[in-house]
Amino acid sequence: MSVVGVDFGTLNTVVAVARNRGVDVITNEVSNRATPSLVGFGPKSRYLGEAAKTQEISNLKNTVACLKRLAGRTLNDPDVQIEQQFISAPLVDINGQVGAEVSYLGKKEQFTATQLIAMFLSKIKQMTAAEIKLPVSDLVMSVPAWFTDIQRRTLIDAAEIAGIKLLRLINDTTAAALGYGITKLDLPSAEEKARRVAFIDIGHSSYTCSIVEFKKGELAVRGTAFDRHFGGRNFDKALVDHLQKEFHGKYKIDIASNGKAMTRVLAAAEKVKKILSANQQAPINIESLMNDIDVRAMITRQEFEAMVEPLLTRVHIPLEAALAEAGLKVEDIDIVEVVGGGSRVPAVKERIQNFFGKTLSFTLNQDEAIARGCAFSCAILSPVFKVRDFAVQDVISYPIEFAWEKDADIPDEDTSLTVFNKGNVLPSTKILTFYRKQPFDLEARYTQPEGLPGKIKPFIGRFSVKGVSATGAPEDFMICKLKARVNIHGVLNVESGYYVEDQEVEEEVKDEGDKKDPDVSNFVMSKTAKDDSSQVAEGTEEMATRSSKRRKTTDGVSDLPSEQTHEERKQLTNNLLFKAMDTDAKDDKPKTRKVKKQVRKGELPIVSATHSLDPAAKNTAAEQEASMLMEDKLIADTEEKKNELETYIYELRNKLDDQYAELASEDEKSKIRAKLEASENWLYDEGDDATKAVYIAKMDEIRALAGPVVQRHFEKVQAEREAVQARVEA
Ligand code: ATP
Ligand code: K
Ligand code: MG
């Protein structure tokens, strides 16, 4: 069993694994510590990761980049039109989801974003397994904090199609914060003031800032803000726009009219940008860019900074917003940690530094911090690994409301309520109470559609509550309790339902008022004529509360689901521990009193319709992925056998003139030479595209013919070795 963390980036993907000694970033098949997030298609197989990068320039129409930016999107989303500027394969609509049309195995094929991401994750899985020599299943992957429910579900589906068990989708900056906190031994204790760190991640396409508070053994995100269209590629684009004009004037060519030229200039621009991070000027030289024209240019840092000024003026916006959400001021921040390749531009660092008025900290590895944080998260969640306990409390990025139809029996009922607010803790569970006589439906949706990325729709899911009837409860209403949860992936579900009845029970009297579990709060959705909410709080006030994480609760425990996450199990153990300690401390008999309580009477089945793929579609996609993987492997094996044959022919021919020269008759030699020549001609002709079995058979034929000579040579070497041995021993 392995413990793996993946930073799935727009440009590059970094993989870290937890081993006994700590967390290491692994290298891929060409010894790189980051793998291009690319998927390509060819006449015989797919090209994934590094292979896609190698083929990219000659295979533009069949190469798909920026995979994660396509997750959960539709073709007509204006954000997808932006992506098309950076993706050379044509994007298409596939039943309402964006996908790409490519030529694969000699045919036009269309793959959805989910499938394309699954292909890449499958590659990451194989690559990791090959490197650590262990099968890969459990994994934690990072996502931008601004990913919505549909985007997260797309990644979860893709991971499942790739045969990966995703233990958690964790926000990028939260992962970096975890990696930071878990390795620090000097964090403030519970009584001390928390350490406040701003984490800033600027990648290839987006920019996020989170304000995080640390204490020993725990972190809590206080506020997160982002710019979804701010990253290294926007700086590259500014350079390309400049070069396009310059080349048009100087060489009378329009690179925008030529896909290959455009891609080459984009690659050159990225290089220039990187050089300018450490130098005052950088040259560009591209041979035969188009129309046989060689182009050259020189860019100074000053010129570059002028070109990207519109971007630089946006640097402070997410920083301000994150602070505002956290309710803090610049002076409250103790440390500013910066990660992500896009933050290496000196002018960007300068703007951030000016904003905070303090020297930036780079104690984390800028390219690897997020992957490492993911691996730590995986280690904490995985049952097979023991690590120092570290509690992670994140926040919800967009408010979520539930809506339902007015019940004819309850005239004054509201029909919607915001249940999760922006900034609420994540994960978070809320118990919703309904008074109903018949089965009913709930719809969950984002409260503020205008705040969502691009044209993502506010709809999250529809939940049908079954098994409701007019029985038992006061005035024949059934008191229905629904458990709505934004889980550790940041995905919303109505996880379970049950109904309760009011009963009188004997209960112990506590000295101290029990605090409510912050993750589990109760909402009465409907006020009935006979509203019994003696111990169930009204929603609005509770929702605004951000309570401390450590909790002593007795009530919340029964509300936890049967299939608890590892984290919840640990929390539960803590709760039980606290309870035990509380009662142990008292010598005298506990006092009791009679109270009215709601007692759980039975389950209410929930039927959910969400953006997740249905199991049948997921199975089909998984089978398709498995068969493409087999095909790729067969092609790779065939290629390997062909190369072996080629090498064997070459080596045997050399040996015939060298070590075999005196061991074979002229007749033998000419027969073997003839066979080698024929085989070689065959290889470059009809044998260029043969099957694995045919290459193996060819090799066997030559081996059989050369066998006697090889045997003689073997015996000769053996005899010589024995002679040497005899001399040494004499
Ligand atoms: P995202 O987080 O947006 O999904 P990502 O994780 O793939 O993207 P990173 O790997 O963090 O992105 O950063 C890649 C970006 O960093 C690229 O645009 C790259 O050109 C840029 N970059 C890397 N090194 C430098 C440098 N020395 N100077 C300027 N930019 C750099
Ligand atoms: K990355
Ligand atoms: Mg990134």
pLDDT tens digits for range 257-306: 999 999 999 999 999 999 999 999 999 999 999 999 999 999 999 999 99
Contacts of residue 656, Cβ cutoff 8 Å, sequence gap at least 6: 664, 669, 672, 673
Q: What is the largest CA-CA distance in the chain?
A: 111
Question: Which atom number of ligand 1 is nearest to the Cα of residue 205?
Answer: 3
Pocket test for ligand 1, best of 344, 350, 365 (most atoms within 8 A of CB): 344
Strand order in the sheet with 207-215: 335-339, 195-202, 207-215, 218-227, 391-395, 425-426
Q: What is the pLDDT of residues 92-107, one digit of tens each?
A: 999 999 999 999 999 9
Same domain flag for 593 and 564 = yes
Percent of the chain past pLDDT 70, that is, above it, reads 88
Inform me whether the pLDDT recorded for 541 exceeds 50: no
Residue 587 has pLDDT above 50, yes or no: no
> Are 221 and 92 found together in one domain?
yes
The per-residue pLDDT for 20 is 76
Q: Which residue among 365, 393, 421 closes a domain?
A: 393
Q: What phi and psi values does residue 460 have, to the nearest 5 degrees? A: -110, -45
Q: Give the whole-angstrom CA distance, residue 299 versus residue 285.
A: 12
Nearest residue (by CA) to ligand 1, atom 18, is 232
In a shared domain, residues 381 and 409: no
Q: Is the CB of 273 under 6 A from ligand 1?
A: yes
Number of neighbours of residue 690 by Cβ within 10 angstroms: 17
Mean confidence (pLDDT) of the chain: 88
Query: Per 3-state DSSP, what percentage of the chain is helix, strand, and coil (rounded to 5)?
Result: 40, 25, 30
Ligand 1 pocket test: which of 229, 274, 304, 345 has the largest number of ligand atoms within 8 Å of its C-beta? 274
Given 291, 312, 333, the domain boundary residue is 312
pLDDT tens column, 633-666: 999 999 999 999 999 999 999 999 999 999 999 9
Output the domain CATH number for residue 293: 3.90.640.10
One domain for residues 219 and 236? no
**Shared domain check, 35 and 51:** yes
In this structure, the answer to whether residues 400 and 378 fall within a common structural domain is no
Residues 126 and 221 reside in one and the same domain: yes
What average pLDDT score do residues 492-513 get?
83
| Ligand 1 atom 2: residue of nearest CA | 203
Of 120-124, 682-686, 708-712, highest mean pLDDT: 120-124
User: What's the CA-to-centroid distance between 271 and ligand 1, angstroms?
Assistant: 11
- What pLDDT sits at residue 690? 93
At residue 9, the pLDDT reads: 98
* Partners of 486 in the β-ladder: 428, 492
- pLDDT tens-digit series, residues 423-442: 899 999 999 999 999 999 99
Range of the domain at 572: 396-610
Where does the pLDDT of residue 222 fall: very low under 50, low under 70, confident under 90, or very high at 90 and above? very high
| 579 in Cβ contact with 554 (< 8 Å) | yes
Per-residue pLDDT for 152 more than 80?
yes
Query: Within this chain, do residues 14 and 117 fall inside the same structural domain, yes or no?
Result: yes
* Ligand 1 centroid from CA 170, angstroms: 20
Q: How confident is the model over 77-132, as pLDDT tens digits? A: 999 999 999 999 999 999 999 999 999 999 999 999 999 999 999 999 999 999 99
In eight-state DSSP terms, residue 515 is P
- Pocket of ligand 1 contains residue 365 by CB under 6 Å: no
Q: Which residue is closest in CA terms to ligand 1's atom 26?
A: 274
Q: Which residue's alpha carbon is nearest to atom 12 within ligand 1? A: 203
For 560, the token pair is 């936890």
> Residue 205 pLDDT > 50, yes or no?
yes
Helix ranges restricted to H, 501-584: 539-544, 566-584
* Residue 359 clears pLDDT 50, i.e. is over it: yes
- What local confidence, expressed as pLDDT, does residue 423 receive? 87
Residues 90 and 192 placed together within one structural domain of the fold: yes
- Closest ligand 1 atom to residue 206 Cα is 3
Q: How many CB atoms lie within 10 A of CB 670?
A: 12
d(CA 8, ligand 3 centre) in Å: 7
Average pLDDT score over residue span 579-588? 36
CA of 613 to the centre of ligand 2 (A): 27
pLDDT of residue 557: 25
Residues with CB under 5 A from ligand 2 (ion): 7, 9, 12
User: Is the pLDDT score of 521 beyond 70?
Assistant: no
How is 290-343 classified by DSSP, letter by letter?
A: ETTEEEEEEEEHHHHHHHTHHHHTTTHHHHHHHHHHHT--GGG--EEEEESGGG
Considering the domain architecture, whether residues 487 and 537 belong to the same structural domain is answered as: yes
* Closest Cα to atom 27 of ligand 1: 274
281 CB under 6 A from ligand 1?
A: no
Among 585, 610, 635, the domain-final residue is 610
Count: domains in the chain: 4
The domain that contains 711 carries what CATH number?
1.20.1270.10
Structure tokens that stand for 550 in this block = 């450590």
**Same-domain status, 548 and 413:** yes
Q: Look up the CATH number of the domain holding residue 491.
A: 2.60.34.10
Average pLDDT over residues 169-196: 96
Ligand nearest to the CA of 372: 2
Q: Is the CB of 36 under 6 A from ligand 1?
A: no
Q: Give the CATH number of the domain where residue 334 resides.
A: 3.30.420.40
> Ligand 1 test: best mutation among 25, 117, 174, 204, most atoms within 8 Å of CB?
204
Whether 314 shows a pLDDT value over 60: the answer reads yes
Q: Can you give the pLDDT at residue 565?
A: 42
3 state SS of 49: coil
Query: Per this entry, what is the length of the chain?
Result: 730
Contact between 139 and 594 under an 8 Å Cβ cutoff? The reply is: no
Note whether 66 and 86 are within 8 A (CB): yes
The mean pLDDT value for 135-161 works out to: 97
Q: What is the ipTM of this complex?
A: 0.99
State whether 218 and 250 are in the same domain. Answer: no
Residue 588 — pLDDT band, cuts 50, 70, 90? low
Q: What is the mean pLDDT of residues 147-151?
A: 98
Instruction: Label the pairing between strands 207-215 and 335-339.
Output: unpaired
Q: What are the tens digits of pLDDT across the range 22-66?
A: 899 999 999 999 999 999 999 999 999 999 999 999 999 999 999
**CA separation, residue 184 to residues 173, 207, 362, 380, 723 (Å):** 17, 25, 14, 16, 64
The atom number, within ligand 1, closest to the CA of 231 reads 3
